[in-house]
Structure 1
Amino acid sequence: MSEKEYSYPLDLDWSTDEIVDVTEFFVAVEQAFEGDGVRRGELAARYQAFKRVVPGKSEEKTLFKEFKSRSGLESYDVVKQLKEVEDDQAIIRG
């Protein structure tokens, strides 16, 4: 795990479970860029949970942009790889 600490874009109107789901997705994005990457299956599950909280494309783009400005990490690139790779055992790296 990285020693870097990032600030996550969160909405105070979300429930605790929703905040956890969004945070876990952004942690998976961090893992894709740092260390050994993240398994596709894990990333897919975290992205699905994220999309239950943030179903709209516009809000997703806003959160991705805000996370990139805080961390320098591009969530869109990781999600793009997720959609392109079919092997569940694949490791996705940023």
Structure 2
Amino acid sequence: MAEEYSYPIDVDWTTEEVIDVVQFFEAVEAAFDNGINSRVFKERYDRFKIVVPSKAEEKTIFRDFKQSSGMEAYQAVKQLKDMEEDVTIKV
């Protein structure tokens, strides 16, 4: 995507944690663009949750991402939780 927005990144995260969060948001973008395999999305979301275990912090980060990108990460996560494994998530 050639969109001009930034990812919500915490300066206290390690480089690996930043990569995990960015890869999760790239997966959200894929879900909005062309769809993404639920297994791949779940792996990225699980890594994101290791970095951001708090539900309150997740909501804040999702809100910041939506304000920046216009994409609602929660919609993709909700689809993941409602679907069977190994299907395509498309928002």
**Structure 1 equivalent of residue 56 of structure 2:** 58
Aligned Cα root-mean-square deviation (Å): 0.9
Cα deviation digits, residues 21-66 of structure 1 (max 9, x gap) = 00000000000001x2110000000000000000000000000000
1:87 deviates by: 2.9
1:5 deviates by: 4.0
How far apart in 1 are the matches of 2:83 and 2:4? 28
How far apart in 2 are the matches of 1:41 and 1:5? 28
**Structure 2 equivalent of residue 79 of structure 1:** 77
Which runs of 5 or more residues in structure 1 are unaligned?
none
Which runs of 5 or more residues in structure 2 are unaligned?
none
Taking the TM superposition and a 5 Å limit, the aligned residue runs for 1:19-38 are: 19-34=18-33, 36-38=34-36
Given residue 24 of structure 1, which amino acid in structure 2 is its aligned partner? Q
- Identical-residue share of aligned pairs (%): 52
What TM-score does the superposition give when structure 2 sets the normalisation length? 0.96
Structure 1 residue ranges, 4+ long, deviating more than 3 angstroms after superposition: none
